[in-house]
Homo-oligomer: A and B are copies of this chain.
Amino acid sequence: MRTRLKDVAERAGVSVKTVSNVVNGYQHVSPALRAKVTVALEELGYRPNLSARTLRRGRSGMIALALPSVRGPYFSELAHLIVREAEQHELTVLIDCTYGDLTREQTVAEGFRTQLIDGMILCPWQLGATDLRRREDTTPLVLLGERVSNGVDSVAVDSRAVGEAATEHLLSIGRQRIGVLRSLPSNTGGVVSKIRLDGYKRALAAAGLEFDPALVVDVDRPHGVDPRVATDALLDLPEPIDAIFCFNDELALVAMRRLYEQGYRVPDDIAVIGVDGIAAGATITPTLSTIVPDKQQIAAEAVRMLVERIEGDSAAARRRVKAGFTLLPRESTMGLQRVRRRPRTRPARQATRS
Contact = CB atoms under 8 A, between A and B. Distances in A.
B283 A253 contact: yes
Contacts of A115: 2, 47-52
Interface of A: 2, 45, 47-52, 54-55, 60, 62, 69-73, 75-77, 79-80, 83-84, 92-97, 111, 113-116, 136-138, 172-174, 240, 242, 250, 253-254, 256-257, 260-265, 267-269, 271, 278-280, 283-285, 287, 333-335, 337, 339-342, 344-346, 348-354
Contacts of A278: 280
6 pairs of A and B residues whose beta carbons are closest in the complex: A335-B351, A76-B76, A280-B280, A50-B116, A263-B342, A71-B80
Contacts of A48: 114-115
Contacts of A344: 269
Given A51-B60, A51-B116, A260-B285, 10 more contacts: A2-B138, A47-B137, A48-B114, A51-B51, A93-B94, A172-B354, A260-B339, A269-B349, A284-B284, A334-B353
A297 to B, nearest CB: 17
Contact of A339 (B71, B116, B263): B263
A284 B174 contact: no
A71 B94 CA distance: 15
Chain A's interface: helix, strand, loop or mixed, by majority?
loop
A349 B242 contact: yes
A280 B253 contact: yes
A93 B92 contact: no
Nearest to A3: B136
B71 A97 contact: no
A72 B80 CA distance: 9
| Total identical chains | 2
Contact of A55 (B52, B69, B138, B257): B52
Interface centre among A52, A54, A116, A340 (most CB of B within 10 A): A116
A260 B116 CA distance: 52
Contact of A283 (B50, B257, B262, B264): B257
Nearest to A353: B334
A93 B62 CA distance: 12
Contacts of A83: 70, 95-97
Nearest to A138: B2
A333 B351 contact: yes
A76 B70 contact: yes
Contact of A174 (B113, B333, B335, B352): B352
Given A92-B113, A269-B348, A70 B62 contact: no
Given A48-B114, A345-B240, A351-B173, A79 B84 contact: no
Contact of A60 (B116, B340, B345): B116
A133 to B, nearest CB: 14
A123 to B, nearest CB: 15
Nearest to A72: B76
11 contacts: A51-B60, A52-B115, A55-B55, A69-B80, A71-B77, A92-B113, A94-B94, A172-B354, A173-B352, A263-B339, A263-B340
